[in-house]
Structure 1
């Protein structure tokens, strides 16, 4: 349990860096560029994902999974998080009229747990070691 807590703490540290990029781009696009908050949130999510991949691979999960495997897995987990962000942001800003930053905080609260678990259990998980056939192992 302590190892999981340490890993989650590392994930939160990496997430703060990625969120800085995400929220910075979101606010810039909305406040300066007058962009739609939902689209700006999605652009921020993508920019934060780039930061997240590199730092999580190295610092949080210390993964030896080859990039050729980890990147497409990361992309699938991130795409689901992207969809969750879109649903939550659209529902809260367009549907309920909440301010975009409040909606983004709520979306982040949901997506951070999805991403942590998806990456821990699938993207960066250790590759399974194939079992030896009965003949090779000497067992029958």
Structure 2
């Protein structure tokens, strides 16, 4: 795939990710500000909810996958489980150990997660069968 096609795919992935991120950030804000939930737990819950939105949009819009949902979803949610662990651990480390403001920590964590999730989605989860 030419470099410009990969870039276009990354931009679609980022747009789809923005919808999942909006869900995650809303859950983070509501959890922390309205219900007094810890930032790491609220962020983790939001990550899970956003993941469902992202799967559907990435399957059809970003990657145009033709593989079975059993295979694609299994791989995608395995990838996201690892990403969720990384997200939650990094949020815990930055907010509770390094005492960063939770929004700054979440923005950094989101950027790293975007790169991790795109690479894993492109080269593993939605990779066409040979």
State the TM-score bracket (shorter-chain normalisation): over 0.9
Runs of 5+ consecutive residues of structure 1 not aligned to the other structure: 129-140
Structure 2: 5+ residue runs without aligned partners?
Answer: none
- Structure index of larger Rg: 1
Which residue pairs with 1:124 in the alignment?
Answer: 126
- From 42, 47, 50, give the equivalent of 1:48: 50
The superposition leaves residues 41-80 of structure 1 with CA deviations (integer Å, 9 ceiling, x where unpaired) of 0001001101100001111111011001111101110011
CA distance in structure 2 between the partners assigned to 1:30 and 1:87 by the alignment? 17
Superposed CA RMSD:
0.7
User: Which 4+ runs in 1 deviate beyond 2 A?
Assistant: none
**Aligned positions, number:** 128
Could you state the TM-score of these two structures normalised by the residue count of structure 2? 0.96
**Bigger share in helix:** 2
Distance 1:83 1:91 in 2: 12
Tell me how far 1:99 sits from its aligned partner.
1.1
Aligned to 1:38: 40
